[in-house]
Structure 1
């Protein structure tokens, strides 16, 4: 099985799993909305039966409007607070990442990434880029991997990138893309344990 076939198979499997998860989420939301809709219908019937005087109808309408307005403002405030907390969380993640990048474990990780890229290239022409922040590690990494490295002009927040021009392949073990992806996917889950 060729690499392209493996990638196609992996992509197909991942897409099927993503569709299945998406469909399950849609079903859950649909069931929840149907339940809310049923509750809403029952409440509307009860209100219609209990409304006797026009004054009560007017008072209930005003109360509902005030409640909706308060809920909307509360949701906006929760959204703003969650966004602030998300930014603070990822600022802390970046601080921890910078601290990690000063450790021996990070150097070993870079060596591992470089060796994997070299193995994948299988002797083919390849350019391996390290992050500008890691320029001080260049000699160490070249000594431990036997590979010639290039310091990138672009800050990709750590990790490595390797380009196999002959095969048009980018091996991306950069932290920047991973952080951005996690930032986009991150959601607060309402205080669930373990989330």
Structure 2
């Protein structure tokens, strides 16, 4: 082999070797780029999933917030309606109470409560009070029960109050006390449980 042939052979081998090496580097670089692309796709996929999840949570939060506001409005309206109905109901009760106080049955009721208070006091001294609206009934009640009746300076919507001073006992059979207790403790019961 001549020098030229050797050079040509060396050149051919070197070029083939260089092409082979270049091809390997290209393949390596291609694999590296594909790996970077794959990682980039995974990152973008996770970011998209996170964005969707975050948006869904925000939407759920907004829905819950709107739902809570609506529930509060409904509860407020419900309470207002209950208060209106309660007010009307107790106005009617007061009207019936006023009508009852104009009947002979009310006079009998007062006598009964006075006698019950005297029986409770037994031999102890007792002071019986009626309200200002019933002041005109004092004489009748004294005659009927045999007990002195005093007119209280403060009105208590009917009924009686009795005091046993020796025992520090107040017997409150006034309509105002019973009325206020009923009004305070009154609740509307409803729903499936109470139907």
TM range (shorter): 0.5 to 0.7
| Alpha-carbon distance in structure 2 between the residues aligned to 1:194 and 1:60 | 34
Q: What corresponds to 1:113 in structure 2?
A: 113
| Alpha-carbon distance in structure 2 between the residues aligned to 1:125 and 1:154 | 22
| Counterparts of residues 25-174 of structure 1 (less than 5 Å) | 53-174=53-174
Q: What corresponds to 2:175 in structure 1?
A: 175
TM-score normalised over the length of structure 2: 0.67
For each residue in 1:128-150, what CA deviation from the matched residue of structure 2 results, as whole angstroms up to 9, or x when unmatched?
A: 10111111211211111111100
3-state SS of 1:128 partner: strand
- Go from structure 1 to structure 2 and tell me whether the alpha carbon gap of 1:97 and 1:73 turns closer, same or farther (over 3 Å shift): same
3-state SS of 1:73 partner: helix
**Which ranges of structure 2 fall in alignment gaps of 5 or more residues?**
1-50
| Alpha-carbon distance in structure 2 between the residues aligned to 1:176 and 1:89 | 16
TM-score normalised over the length of structure 1: 0.67
Rg larger in structure: 2
| Alpha-carbon distance in structure 1 between the residues aligned to 2:193 and 2:107 | 34
For each residue in 1:21-46, what CA deviation from the matched residue of structure 2 results, as whole angstroms up to 9, or x when unmatched?
A: xxxxxxxxxxxxxxxxxxxxxxxxxx
| Alpha-carbon distance in structure 2 between the residues aligned to 1:108 and 1:148 | 17
| Residue 191 of structure 1: how far off its partner (Å) | 4.9
| Alpha-carbon distance in structure 2 between the residues aligned to 1:192 and 1:126 | 50
**Length, aligned pairs only:** 145
